[in-house]
Structure 1
């Protein structure tokens, strides 16, 4: 169950906007605070005018800004037409990519009854979507109503919920945006009464300006060739600490023309003291907005993918993180509402670990360092205990593992030495728990296995001891943490004995963990079953079926499973058994770990956050089709369409889930691992690229993706008519144990021959689609592959 349920148990001639001189200066002071933050606008990247010709675009006006004369042009023949701002130095092109927020009109669930899908132990939708190998992305998209597509005010205390939000990195709060485009301070409905028609709003399309920037774009249909086009974004020049100033444009488009346009800034008019924004002010604010966000994400690696929206989605996640975190750094689990924006969530370990992991994987090392330093300074005491109500044992181990990864990827010894005592304390928390488990009688089911809360919310119940148990993930993550931090300890300290003791404990604990797991596998069930801790007599679904599931020690089993898989301490036979167990006994929904709770004929939920550990193990086991299903399902069924607000727990019936930041980081992680993934001392390139992506014949390229051995670049392009793949790889400057390239050729074809720098390479791997790349570190390698 999610935490909230738990806690509750032309400026067109008809434009009505008036010119308001001074919003860029006067209104800053009027609407801002005495100690506002001064910022210098940054010019955005401009394209050459010749590269962005648009003879059919509608002229929307002209303005002067930053010493330049600008003109505004817009394609109003389509709801996703470009918006262009032109000056003598080039063109700022802002796309308006949109997605249908309502999803699809086709029958959901492949025509099956929701009750049958929800109550089945098997993941019926996953079984159907995986019937032909790689899942079809469009099928995954349309298999269920997406989040925020079936909203009814009666389900939300009489008013529709917010579905996205805007803000800046420097601000300490965010501003929510509702389905009709209004915020808490500005409503376009005052100028366009038709926006009150909920049936129109329900059929909206949504997107992000520029493809990824945190500017909300909505297109609300209003008849044939007629729609309301709404833009909302935060004022990046405003200096308020807590108040989020916003720019607004609402426009009625009819027959490819803007027949009415209204511009606004933050609040309704209060003449004569406060008047609406002018078009000139709005577009000047938009230029600054684009420059600001391009600068904030300047370190995001260059990507070229057959569908650019995937790269946009990853980039947007990091922009959204800056919006959510006060000052761009302070942690927040959610946004807007007290749940989950309250300070009681700030020290939540998952917010820290998911952010650190994702920023490291995409080479955003400055942000990773800021997040790491902030957490260790503000949310950890000298003994390594976190400043959070309910510490989670597994996350202590994951923290140690990610610190080791940070050091291997960045070489930043100084930052970790600054916190060396706290790092030792984190490891000591786990060794103390291990000692306590070893003191138990050998007949105890938890002897030698780390006891403790696996889920933070356990601490809120009348008797938290019910969940102070030997969950398998506690021990698995401790092993992972000790082994990884021990491997780099010599770079931080001369205490040679300490890492040796950690490794000795890790070996001892691994032996005990595997012994317990093998002894507790239930092979009388099909598929074989393993519970979240030793000695369980019921399956997790049976345990959750009791009248009050919150009285079961198997509550939050989903967390145990994803962390156990993420830790990567199980041999392949047990890891495969675990994944089959989840999929066959009600533990996955659309291939993603379910939010394991009381079965209901009306719901079957997806665990949007922390579940990336399950996907990671799918990739390690080369269960690529299931990995892709996880990726597609997370995008389309755990995020709102177009605005990409990720839910902590998402249903499959179209309601609005609660946003949480760790869920937003899942798609960036999976997309990165699809392209470049390290496993032990081996490096895998293009391991999970969809067959369809190569088959399209468009380039797939990523530049400078970081690994523990240095950065990697790849370029691949299929020539379908010649049944050939051409490409180049730029290898890291230090050599992994092995480097592997996977070439997942179009469906129905087989890889026949691969030539690496003029030498034929042997085709290997469980799917016979992998070659070993033997070349000097740092070299650029040419690839030619043939299939048929």
Structure 2
């Protein structure tokens, strides 16, 4: 269930947190507005464009230059092009329909059967031929926000997306018609007040990924309403989000009626509607500001529409949601997600630090790290938030080690040395408590503690103070990772040695206890989220109220993400989840009491499950997770990610950690390193359908512990060619490039830098690369 439903009937408590500023590291951006950042804005050469058939919409002046505006009005996806002499700014359009397609949903299965079955029936159907088809995954269930019933949203207006700026401390929701709380499109076009008409809309983002809402509401053939909304990047109100609006009726290639707005309805003579020139001038400044904000993200080119843009939009949305671009917020708009009692939520911190690091956004990663440890980690290692999640302490330590390996920034970690050591000490003390238990106690040697923050809201939260495997597994991962880099930071080898020893003890105890608690009487064999339980999680949720096995999805995902289990046990956990009700369309399910009307997808924290799929080379399942998360945990086009999404078309409630899942999955698809630091995998999960597209697949400057790396696949006559840039700082012990051929193609030969690849370097669909740091290697393969 989503958080709002969960909170009903529970007396919630929270700790108020201020908006105080935090110190920044050397990576932090100190500019007050995005537009002040260094470097010229991106432009396109005018002579490379064809504006034939585009409509001239006038002009405007900006910074002493004259600009002309053109728009392709022949279809709803026609670009807006701003031209200034020999340079231009092009803002493309692409929308996705939000309504469900005609025909039987759920691939012909019944929703009740899907919901009640322990096995993930939709996943089984979609994987029946191996690699799933993205379009079939998309059609497996109605898209989120396609069935909007206000009764399901507690009387609130069901907003589907939002806009804002880095500098503002709040956001502005945008409703189905394109209206906001302060500007109403239906005051100009009353037809947009009709829910039935608006339900047939398509939604998207202007410029591919910019946080500018684009809606298309069809009228009939060749006619539609076109709505644009974006936040004013020049406004500096603390909480008020100023917005720009263009609402137009387009008929057969021309604008028949248009209205421009800024934040509020007109109040003449003091407040008059802006003219077109003011709108397009603001649009140019908006484009340039956001291009600067994301300029440090490592570039990626993907052949399937929307994927690369989805990653960039997630980082733009994070800057919109975080006041000042840095202060943490779990969600937006709704009190049960935006309230200060959620600001210190560990998942908001760990997902942000992880995703920003993986895409090379070091300044944002440093600012997020510094803010969290300054304002939300106390001197004793405890967090300034209502309920800690025990496994997240371990993940925090692991990500701090990753931050240092990527950035080599010891100064920021040294600044927070005392709090980091206190975090590790907290885990040691919890481990000490478990070692005092009797040797035959199921939880002996396993860290006890809440696995889920919401446990603290119940009358007796001690019910969930239990030895969930994830608590100890993630502690083992975090203590082991931080121990390897800590002597370089703090010169404290004694502490590092102790952390390594505890890491090994915890990992061994997790494996030993888990092996002793496998239920081989069930098929597939069953592993519970903690030892000593007699019921499966489904049985426990039905019979024990409340159940100590509540929130098993988090426990499983974190256990797998920690990567301390031998491969055969990790395989067993995944099979258990898929076979006993813990996945939905291949994504981790939001597990609750079973009911025939739905089976929910967990939009956040579930990436740990996907990460283990990739480690175990279960690529088809990894791609199913990726596709299903995009199409069933995000609203179409506007890409608002839900904390929990049902598969019947309801509107999910947005949370920021869910938004950052797709960037992680895309990055790991292209560049992924194992937990031990022994192997770098390149292109391990690129879909065969993409490899057969004939288009470029590339990522450059992707961070790793060995330095930046990249790959560039392109089609050549009779085959494919990949150029790899090995990490520039040091050579990984092993580098493997996956050779995932298009479906139905076989490999004839493989050459490395013009010479035949050594047979010893070829293993199934992978090639081992050998070279010096920073070396460029060209791999050529021809089809049989």
TM-score (norm 2): 0.95
Judge conservation of contact 1:46–1:89 (CA < 8 Å) in 2.
no
Q: Which residue of 2 aligns with 1:184?
A: 181
Q: Hey, what's the Cα distance between the residues in 1 that align with 2:387 and 2:246? A: 44
Which residues in structure 2 correspond to 1:140-219 (within 5 Å)? 140-158=137-155, 160-219=157-216
Judge conservation of contact 1:44–1:92 (CA < 8 Å) in 2.
no
Q: Which moved more, 1:192-201 or 1:529-538?
A: 192-201
Match of 2:662 among 658, 662, 667: 667
Runs of at least 5 residues in structure 2 that lack an aligned partner in the other structure: 10-30
Match of 1:628 among 623, 634, 651: 623
Runs of at least 5 residues in structure 1 that lack an aligned partner in the other structure: 10-35
Residues 21-51 of structure 1, C-alpha deviations (whole Å, 9 max, x = no match): xxxxxxxxxxxxxxx9778667642211111
Q: Tell me, yes or no, if structure 1 residue 8 matches structure 2 residue 3.
A: no
Judge conservation of contact 1:593–1:607 (CA < 8 Å) in 2.
yes
Which residues in structure 2 correspond to 1:527-546 (within 5 Å)? 527-546=524-543
Q: CA deviation at 1:153?
A: 2.6
Match of 2:743 among 744, 747, 766: 747
Match of 2:506 among 506, 509, 512: 509
Q: Secondary structure at the match of 1:657?
A: coil
Q: Hey, what's the Cα distance between the residues in 1 that align with 2:124 and 2:747? A: 27
Match of 2:438 among 427, 436, 441: 441
Q: CA deviation at 1:786?
A: 2.4
Q: Which residue of 2 aligns with 1:12?
A: none
Residues 431-462 of structure 1, C-alpha deviations (whole Å, 9 max, x = no match): 00000000111121111100000000001100
Q: Hey, what's the Cα distance between the residues in 2 that align with 1:520 and 1:760? A: 50
Q: Which moved more, 1:744-753 or 1:317-326?
A: 744-753
Q: CA deviation at 1:89?
A: 3.8
Q: Which residue of 1 aligns with 2:609?
A: 614
Match of 1:556 among 540, 551, 555: 551
Q: Which residue of 2 aligns with 1:111?
A: 108
Residues 39 and 369 of structure 1: is their aligned pair in 2 closer, same or farther, counting only changes over 3 Å? closer
Judge conservation of contact 2:107–2:139 (CA < 8 Å) in 1.
no
Judge conservation of contact 1:698–1:717 (CA < 8 Å) in 2.
yes
Q: Secondary structure at the match of 2:419?
A: helix
Q: CA deviation at 1:474?
A: 0.3
Q: Which residue of 2 aligns with 1:396?
A: 393
Q: Which moved more, 1:583-592 or 1:492-501?
A: 492-501
Q: Secondary structure at the match of 1:530?
A: coil
Q: CA deviation at 1:380?
A: 0.7
Residues 38 and 785 of structure 1: is their aligned pair in 2 closer, same or farther, counting only changes over 3 Å? closer
Q: Which residue of 2 aligns with 1:569?
A: 564
Q: Hey, what's the Cα distance between the residues in 2 that align with 1:361 and 1:759? A: 33
Q: Hey, what's the Cα distance between the residues in 1 that align with 2:79 and 2:665? A: 29
Q: Which residue of 1 aligns with 2:477?
A: 480
Q: Hey, what's the Cα distance between the residues in 2 that align with 1:560 and 1:766? A: 37
Q: Which residue of 2 aligns with 1:25?
A: none
Q: Hey, what's the Cα distance between the residues in 1 that align with 2:765 and 2:545? A: 46
Match of 2:756 among 760, 768, 771: 760
Match of 2:641 among 627, 641, 646: 646
Q: Which moved more, 1:507-516 or 1:434-443?
A: 507-516
Q: Secondary structure at the match of 1:62?
A: strand
Q: Which residue of 2 aligns with 1:13?
A: none
Alignment size in residue pairs: 758
Q: Tell me, yes or no, if structure 1 residue 67 matches structure 2 residue 76.
A: no
Q: CA deviation at 1:581?
A: 0.4
Residues 644-690 of structure 1, C-alpha deviations (whole Å, 9 max, x = no match): 00000001001001100000000000000000000022000000000
Judge conservation of contact 2:761–2:768 (CA < 8 Å) in 1.
no
Q: Which residue of 2 aligns with 1:92?
A: 89
Judge conservation of contact 1:762–1:771 (CA < 8 Å) in 2.
no
Q: Tell me, yes or no, if structure 1 residue 420 matches structure 2 residue 417.
A: yes
Q: Tell me, yes or no, if structure 1 residue 603 matches structure 2 residue 594.
A: no
Q: Which residue of 2 aligns with 1:31?
A: none
Residues 544 and 271 of structure 1: is their aligned pair in 2 closer, same or farther, counting only changes over 3 Å? same
Judge conservation of contact 1:764–1:770 (CA < 8 Å) in 2.
no
Q: Hey, what's the Cα distance between the residues in 2 that align with 1:766 and 1:538? A: 46
Q: Secondary structure at the match of 1:707?
A: coil
Q: Which moved more, 1:653-662 or 1:145-154?
A: 145-154
Judge conservation of contact 2:711–2:725 (CA < 8 Å) in 1.
yes
Q: Which residue of 1 aligns with 2:766?
A: 770
Q: Hey, what's the Cα distance between the residues in 2 that align with 1:5 and 1:766? A: 53
Residues 668 and 621 of structure 1: is their aligned pair in 2 closer, same or farther, counting only changes over 3 Å? same
Residues 43-67 of structure 1, C-alpha deviations (whole Å, 9 max, x = no match): 6422111112211011112222221
Q: Hey, what's the Cα distance between the residues in 1 that align with 2:536 and 2:752? A: 50
Q: Hey, what's the Cα distance between the residues in 2 that align with 1:471 and 1:785? A: 47
Q: Secondary structure at the match of 1:372?
A: helix
Q: Hey, what's the Cα distance between the residues in 2 that align with 1:208 and 1:758? A: 43
Q: Hey, what's the Cα distance between the residues in 1 that align with 2:397 and 2:325? A: 24
Q: CA deviation at 1:158?
A: 4.9
Q: Hey, what's the Cα distance between the residues in 2 that align with 1:667 and 1:343? A: 26
Q: Hey, what's the Cα distance between the residues in 2 that align with 1:391 and 1:51? A: 55
Q: Secondary structure at the match of 2:387?
A: coil
Q: Hey, what's the Cα distance between the residues in 2 that align with 1:187 and 1:776? A: 60
Q: Which residue of 2 aligns with 1:245?
A: 242
Residues 292-336 of structure 1, C-alpha deviations (whole Å, 9 max, x = no match): 000000101122211251110000000000000000000000001
Q: Hey, what's the Cα distance between the residues in 1 that align with 2:161 and 2:207? A: 17
Q: CA deviation at 1:103?
A: 3.9
Residues 242 and 763 of structure 1: is their aligned pair in 2 closer, same or farther, counting only changes over 3 Å? farther
Q: Tell me, yes or no, if structure 1 residue 124 matches structure 2 residue 111.
A: no
Residues 766 and 154 of structure 1: is their aligned pair in 2 closer, same or farther, counting only changes over 3 Å? farther
Q: Hey, what's the Cα distance between the residues in 2 that align with 1:704 and 1:41? A: 24
Q: Secondary structure at the match of 1:535?
A: coil
Residues 397 and 550 of structure 1: is their aligned pair in 2 closer, same or farther, counting only changes over 3 Å? farther
Match of 1:139 among 136, 144, 149: 136
Q: Hey, what's the Cα distance between the residues in 2 that align with 1:105 and 1:465? A: 49
Q: Which residue of 1 aligns with 2:28?
A: none
Judge conservation of contact 2:34–2:292 (CA < 8 Å) in 1.
no
Q: Which residue of 2 aligns with 1:341?
A: 338
TM-score (norm 1): 0.94
Q: Which residue of 1 aligns with 2:23?
A: none
Q: Which residue of 2 aligns with 1:224?
A: 221
Which residues in structure 2 correspond to 1:667-686 (within 5 Å)? 667-679=662-674, 680=676, 681-686=678-683
Q: CA deviation at 1:763?
A: 6.1
Residues 354 and 39 of structure 1: is their aligned pair in 2 closer, same or farther, counting only changes over 3 Å? closer
Q: Secondary structure at the match of 1:321?
A: helix
Q: Hey, what's the Cα distance between the residues in 2 that align with 1:765 and 1:377? A: 48
Residues 704 and 651 of structure 1: is their aligned pair in 2 closer, same or farther, counting only changes over 3 Å? same
Q: Tell me, yes or no, if structure 1 residue 374 matches structure 2 residue 367.
A: no
Q: CA deviation at 1:764?
A: 7.7
Q: Tell me, yes or no, if structure 1 residue 710 matches structure 2 residue 710.
A: no
Which residues in structure 2 correspond to 1:35-50 (within 5 Å)? 44-50=41-47
Q: Hey, what's the Cα distance between the residues in 1 that align with 2:547 and 2:375? A: 34
Q: Hey, what's the Cα distance between the residues in 2 that align with 1:766 and 1:468? A: 49
Q: Hey, what's the Cα distance between the residues in 1 that align with 2:445 and 2:587? A: 31
Q: Hey, what's the Cα distance between the residues in 1 that align with 2:138 and 2:541? A: 29
Q: Hey, what's the Cα distance between the residues in 1 that align with 2:123 and 2:774? A: 41
Q: CA deviation at 1:105?
A: 2.1
